[in-house]
Structure 1
Amino acid sequence: MTKGNLAIVLHAHLPYVRSEEPGSLEEDWFFQALVECYLPLLETLENAARAKDQAPKITIGLSPTLLSLLEDHLLKNRFEKWVTIRLEVLNTLEKDCLKAVLHLKEHLKRQLNSWKNCQGDLIGRFKKLQTLDVIDILTCAATHGYLPLLRENPEAVRAQLKTAVTEHERLFMSAPLGIWLPECAYYEGLDELMAESGLRYAVLDGHGLLNADPRPRYGLYAPICTRRGVAFFGRDSESTLPVWSAIDGYPGKPNYREFHRDLGWDLSIESLKKIGIKEKRPLGIKLFKISSKNTSLENKKEYDPQLAKESVEKDAENYLKDRKKQLIKLEKSMQIDPLLIAPFDAELFGHWWFEGPQFLSHLFIKSKEEGIKFITLKEALQVTPKIQLCNPSPSSWGQGGFHNYWLNKTNAWIVHEWSKAGGEMVSICSESLIEESNIKIIKQAGRELLLCQSSDWSFILKAGTTTGLARERINLHLSRFWMLINAIKNNEIIDNKILEGIEKEDCIFPLVSPMDWKKKT
């Protein structure tokens, strides 16, 4: 067995895209992630756990907003119909792209059966895998708020962390020790708020460790720890680039499924309306392969699942061989076993890269043969004999390690809104304005504040995709927040039907506590 360990860390997250309207774009985001990513990942991990010759180990962050969607009964009740509609569409296409159609039909049926067998309880399945020590589950900030941009009101950062911990404990019956910091973003002093919330470790981009003070002796290949007792791991680009990059990595190879060619764009608007969709948008029905980087979307070739399978096996073996070479080289210059940290968005595996779960499966199958040992972050801390004291550098996993993707001319206006609303929430919660008669109102105001702070909407505004939806979500939560807060400040009575309507739509974080926004005395 090669000395050293490989830690694969997945970050599973969706913004709060719950919609009362069936067939909405937001609903599509969630259900596509279910059939392409979360259900296949569970299948991969459960199969590997049952195999006697495999030792699967990964760390996975499950964001509180994603967990809320997974728990939601309204969404659960719609999922089967959503899959059935796509199966019916595929039934009309068997004369074209026969291999791809049959393969996708089999995939959808398998995921639907997987869903039915557990009655939609994916949280319970993740919990069982944690009990088996196959996974270590991290939390995330409550609504994936970009914490460095919320720091003007430290209590707003604390509320993001403590709400997340409370929600995780409610669902998993144990408090999380680790956290996936949104966008791996860190600022000086964040470790104090993490420690206060019981959070003891997180992943940073490589910049966070390489520019730490003092510079870590082992660079990215061992964890560091702050004086407040919070450990940090650094992303290793050599271990991530081959899997992450669609240009230079495996996902861009010719035989893999093309993400951007979706039947929803090919069908006429009349055909879409027949299945209850009012405008052109992706259906999650993709029948073509990448073919080549220079091939236009309309000229892509039919997806061949057998050729894709052969590519997956080859790429997985290549990845393991390269990690083995890397560990052997590192071992020569280190007095402790080297540790490779490979963090990814979980949605890369299955959604963006359809073959991603197969890739993981083959890693588990071949790891012993290549002498590679998988480890979770929690276990890595347990087996590291001494951890160097360092102060991490402010950083993110955005371009260049900076914050500019979430703070630029497209979205900077939001930061002022967050600051103003956050300051008002802190004042209300710190000045004894909370009474029994308005506790429901202040709790809902807290939910609205958290929801408007989601970094996903900032990201979308910068990316330029569905910007209308992003602005709508931000402004909706802000307007609801101010209506509720002003009612408290002005001793106004809110119509119960209005409050109940907001609570029904934004039914997240049942244990949210206004005390998390209270200033320390």
Structure 2
Amino acid sequence: MTRFVLVLHSHLPYVRAHGMWPFGEETLYEAIAEVYLPLARLLERLEADRVPAPMTIGITPILSEQLADAKVKEGFLKYCEDRLMRAEDDLARYQATDLAASAAHQVSHWQETYSHYQRLGGDVVGFFARAQEKGQIEVITSSATHGYSPLLGSDAALWGQIKTGTDAYRRHYRREATGYWMPEMAYRPKGYWEPPVDGARPGMRAGVDELLYKAGIRYTFVDAHLVQGGQSLPPQLGPYGQVESIQLAESSEAVYQVHELESGLRVMARNQETALQVWSADYGYPGDGAYREFHRKDPISGLRHHRVTHRKAGLGDKQPYYPEEAFNRAKEHARHFVSVVEGLAQKHPDGVICAAYDAELFGHWWYEGPAWLEAVFRELAQSKSVKAMTAREAVRGKAVRTALPEGSWGRGGHHDVWLNRETLDFWRLVYRAEGQMIAAVQRFGRDQNGKRRALRQLMRELLLLESSDWPFLIDTGQAVEYARERYEDHAARFAEIYQMLSDDRIDLGRLSELEALDNPFPEADPSLYATGEPETSAKNLVAELLEATQPARMAHRDAYKATQGKLPDYQSLRAATTEEEPPPVVYEAEGLEGGSDEKKMTQPAEAAPSSVSSGAKPATKAAKAKAPASRAKAVSPETEARDPLVEIKGIGPTYQKRLYEAGVFTFAQLAKLKPARLLEIVQARVRVDVESWIAEAKALARKKK
């Protein structure tokens, strides 16, 4: 029988204690509520019905650390309580409307989420560990903070990422890791390596696979193009798409084989047909009109009550969401997916089909995704030609000896997403910090007490600096300022601790503050860097580089920091929407979630239809014709005093500059803008709550008077 392996890669960068909204802890809370808990519930249901669900679930070490953190657990319960209050308010407002079914479903969802989390004692990691111990699933690991393996500046730096990740896995999942998700499916074979920027040394390097095998890893995954040639899959632009036959060249036999590298590491390739069937912009199931629309949110509660409707529908044209219809459609799509898998199995009866996805697609971007997964495994249990199994089971037996080229699952199949003109400063900081980490361990590694603590925190800051999320967010434009702030902050903390060590003056009070702020990996072992080649100078080169770029770096920082760390005030927003004009929808673009998918945002020309707010009257043609007149008129800086628009939560220096350029200088002018026009001006490519901007601008304008 053909072996079928479903792999889910779960990852979020370190956001604990680094802001709340729109890029901070709330992104983690969303993933817990929408992805990890629904995944746990479907596993519980399948186990109760004795239906096998041998998924392979990758949970990155930095995500495991956050899921197990006491601060995160406490914050998530408060988040659930807040969302349940919003859902109950929506149910009261929408009882007599077409949104009643969705509102009732939201209340049920948040009640179930809250009670389930309490039943687990907040121990999401423990649930998956127990599911693995029972043989239901396989949990695999990754590098500590999702560092981009091929570009890290030394074997010692890569070893630090790999070994810290496997050590954390052992602590959380109570066994040794044998499976590993290479961040971004990025691989580099052994051979001569030359750094793309100054700061690291050229020379012969071990292959990524060699270091993985040394750490006890026995299998991993790559993109199809690394085993069969050609290009990587097109960018995953879901959720919009329609279910139809896939028009692409059929994968070669190599994609259906288990491969073994010279090191002994075994490799499976991501199957193109099954990947595109799920998350392609053209073919993916999430684009079906019955499914819940991700980008349209209620203007008061921020919850979602509309459906995709059709692929080309503007947000203002989205129709009410009917949960029962959507979940029935998920079952239909599960049957279709299994038929696709069985069709591939007929052509490759002895092969392996590896369907690998970002876990956050299921439940977050595609709300019905967990229901689809559950239905897929129920269908597979009845299949006569396909046997679902974990990756650990599937790689056993014969394998084809292979040598792989360098590459990733990113754009163009190489490193372009993470290494480009916009990310060169990031890599300079990384390389210099890696070299200084090695130097610090060799100079101070035998010392105890304060210096030992300082070395451990130095290592934590290096690992957090190395995260591939920061260059990814810069390249995609999702959260450029946030990403730069994060890696610069970790580099600055690294430099501060390194200076303490060099000066032989450890400020234990300050060190305790940094340990409380950046606290992952309690077992962090600086000796992992002892075999590396240090910088030739003991000077604090990271601090020098930060100092050299200080004016450009700090120009936006104070104003940008003022926008971070707070949730939008729900009560104030609710009060602001009681004014005469009905509130339009909240438009939402792509957020912080990792992975390689990019999402398109459709913006309507007008505000939402009357179904968005009970009691609101549809806009007349005359009113629509007058709409452009309400936009703020351009006024020269000489004739209009400028308000500090960055005082509004979510508006940073970049958005303020674009507003000024469009002639929006004051809170009063901003308050008159329609959401669609506001989005057009700021060119938002991150998730923004423009309705809260307008509400806050109104309040500030009134206060100014």
Q: Tell me how far apart the structure 1 counterparts of residues 252 and 228 of structure 2 sit (CA, whole Å).
A: 10
Q: Tell me how far apart the structure 1 counterparts of residues 282 and 101 of structure 2 sit (CA, whole Å).
A: 26
Report the equivalent of 1:47: 45
Report the equivalent of 2:465: 452
Report percent identity of matched pairs.
31
Q: Tell me how far apart the structure 2 counterparts of residues 320 and 164 of structure 1 sit (CA, whole Å).
A: 34
Secondary structure of the residue aligned to 1:202 is strand
Report the equivalent of 2:81: 84
Q: Tell me how far apart the structure 2 counterparts of residues 464 and 217 of structure 1 sit (CA, whole Å).
A: 34
2:50 is the alignment partner of 1:15: no
Report the equivalent of 1:279: none
Shift of 1:434: 4.3
Report the equivalent of 1:435: 447
Q: Tell me how far apart the structure 1 counterparts of residues 229 and 314 of structure 2 sit (CA, whole Å).
A: 42
Q: Tell me how far apart the structure 2 counterparts of residues 292 and 115 of structure 1 sit (CA, whole Å).
A: 34
Q: Tell me how far apart the structure 1 counterparts of residues 20 and 337 of structure 2 sit (CA, whole Å).
A: 42
Secondary structure of the residue aligned to 2:24 is helix
Report the equivalent of 2:436: 424
Q: Tell me how far apart the structure 1 counterparts of residues 375 and 176 of structure 2 sit (CA, whole Å).
A: 32
2:309 is the alignment partner of 1:291: yes
Shift of 1:21: 6.0
Report the equivalent of 2:685: none
Contact kept, 8 Å, 1:46 with 1:129, in 2: the verdict is: no
Contact kept, 8 Å, 1:225 with 1:232, in 2: the verdict is: yes
Q: 1:66-105 residue pairs with structure 2 within 5 A?
A: 66-94=63-91, 95-96=93-94, 97-105=99-107
Shift of 1:25: 4.1
Q: 1:171-182 residue pairs with structure 2 within 5 A?
A: 171-182=172-183
2:254 is the alignment partner of 1:219: yes
Report the equivalent of 2:408: 396
Letter in 1 for 2:124: L
Shift of 1:20: 6.7
Secondary structure of the residue aligned to 1:16 is coil
Contact kept, 8 Å, 2:438 with 2:532, in 1: the verdict is: no
Report the equivalent of 1:506: 518
Q: 1:252-271 residue pairs with structure 2 within 5 A?
A: 252-263=287-298, 266-267=299-300
Shift of 1:46: 1.8
Letter in 2 for 1:166: D
Shift of 1:520: 6.0
Secondary structure of the residue aligned to 1:232 is strand
Deviation digits for residues 59-111 of structure 1 (CA, Å, limit 9, x no counterpart): 01110111011111011112222111112112222233111111111111111
Contact kept, 8 Å, 2:57 with 2:140, in 1: the verdict is: yes
Deviation digits for residues 287-308 of structure 1 (CA, Å, limit 9, x no counterpart): 1111111111122111111111
Q: Tell me how far apart the structure 2 counterparts of residues 484 and 476 of structure 1 sit (CA, whole Å).
A: 12
Contact kept, 8 Å, 1:22 with 1:78, in 2: the verdict is: no
The 1:139–1:249 alpha-carbon spacing in structure 2 relative to 1, beyond 3 Å, is same
The 1:420–1:21 alpha-carbon spacing in structure 2 relative to 1, beyond 3 Å, is closer
Shift of 1:195: 1.3
Give unpaired runs (5+ residues) of structure 2. 190-206, 231-250, 534-705
Q: Tell me how far apart the structure 2 counterparts of residues 77 and 469 of structure 1 sit (CA, whole Å).
A: 24
Q: Tell me how far apart the structure 2 counterparts of residues 33 and 301 of structure 1 sit (CA, whole Å).
A: 25
Letter in 2 for 1:167: A
Deviation digits for residues 430-480 of structure 1 (CA, Å, limit 9, x no counterpart): 345541140100110000000011111111111112222111110110000
Report the equivalent of 1:476: 489
The 1:510–1:223 alpha-carbon spacing in structure 2 relative to 1, beyond 3 Å, is same
Higher relative contact order (CA 8 A, sep 6+): 1
Q: What is the aligned counterpart of 2:342 among 324, 329, 332? A: 324
Shift of 1:428: 1.9
Shift of 1:30: 0.7
Q: 1:194-233 residue pairs with structure 2 within 5 A?
A: 194-211=212-229, 218-233=253-268
Report the equivalent of 2:353: 340
Report the equivalent of 2:325: 307
Q: Tell me how far apart the structure 2 counterparts of residues 45 and 158 of structure 1 sit (CA, whole Å).
A: 34
Contact kept, 8 Å, 1:321 with 1:370, in 2: the verdict is: no
Report the equivalent of 1:377: 391
Deviation digits for residues 134-173 of structure 1 (CA, Å, limit 9, x no counterpart): 11111010000011110x3111000000000111111122
Q: Tell me how far apart the structure 2 counterparts of residues 388 and 293 of structure 1 sit (CA, whole Å).
A: 42
The 1:135–1:433 alpha-carbon spacing in structure 2 relative to 1, beyond 3 Å, is closer
Shift of 1:43: 0.6
Q: 1:153-168 residue pairs with structure 2 within 5 A?
A: 153-168=154-169
Secondary structure of the residue aligned to 1:412 is helix
Contact kept, 8 Å, 1:211 with 1:393, in 2: the verdict is: no
Letter in 2 for 1:88: M
Bigger drift between 424-433 and 126-135 goes to 424-433
Q: Tell me how far apart the structure 2 counterparts of residues 408 and 289 of structure 1 sit (CA, whole Å).
A: 37
Q: Tell me how far apart the structure 2 counterparts of residues 211 and 435 of structure 1 sit (CA, whole Å).
A: 50
Letter in 2 for 1:443: R
Deviation digits for residues 214-252 of structure 1 (CA, Å, limit 9, x no counterpart): xx9940111111121111110110111111224321011
Bigger drift between 462-471 and 181-190 goes to 462-471
Shift of 1:396: 0.7
Shift of 1:343: 0.5
Contact kept, 8 Å, 1:428 with 1:434, in 2: the verdict is: no
Report the equivalent of 1:367: 380
Letter in 2 for 1:198: G
Contact kept, 8 Å, 2:2 with 2:387, in 1: the verdict is: yes
Deviation digits for residues 27-53 of structure 1 (CA, Å, limit 9, x no counterpart): 21011001100000011112112213x
Deviation digits for residues 251-272 of structure 1 (CA, Å, limit 9, x no counterpart): 1111111111123xx24xxxx8
Shift of 1:416: 1.4
Report the equivalent of 1:349: 362
Bigger drift between 474-483 and 85-94 goes to 85-94
Q: TM-score, normalised by structure 2?
A: 0.67
Contact kept, 8 Å, 1:221 with 1:234, in 2: the verdict is: yes
Report the equivalent of 2:500: 487
Q: Tell me how far apart the structure 2 counterparts of residues 170 and 422 of structure 1 sit (CA, whole Å).
A: 25
Runs of 4+ in 1 over 2 A off after TM superposition: 20-25, 368-372, 430-434
Contact kept, 8 Å, 2:154 with 2:532, in 1: the verdict is: no
What is the aligned length?
489
Contact kept, 8 Å, 1:289 with 1:302, in 2: the verdict is: yes
The 1:312–1:217 alpha-carbon spacing in structure 2 relative to 1, beyond 3 Å, is closer
Letter in 1 for 2:13: P
Q: Tell me how far apart the structure 2 counterparts of residues 12 and 20 of structure 1 sit (CA, whole Å).
A: 20
What's the RMSD between the two structures over aligned residues? 1.8
Q: Tell me how far apart the structure 2 counterparts of residues 225 and 46 of structure 1 sit (CA, whole Å).
A: 35
The 1:21–1:348 alpha-carbon spacing in structure 2 relative to 1, beyond 3 Å, is closer
Contact kept, 8 Å, 1:207 with 1:393, in 2: the verdict is: no
Q: TM-score, normalised by structure 1?
A: 0.91
In terms of Rg, which structure is larger? 2
The 1:520–1:125 alpha-carbon spacing in structure 2 relative to 1, beyond 3 Å, is same
Contact kept, 8 Å, 1:224 with 1:232, in 2: the verdict is: yes
Contact kept, 8 Å, 1:290 with 1:301, in 2: the verdict is: yes
Report the equivalent of 1:169: 170
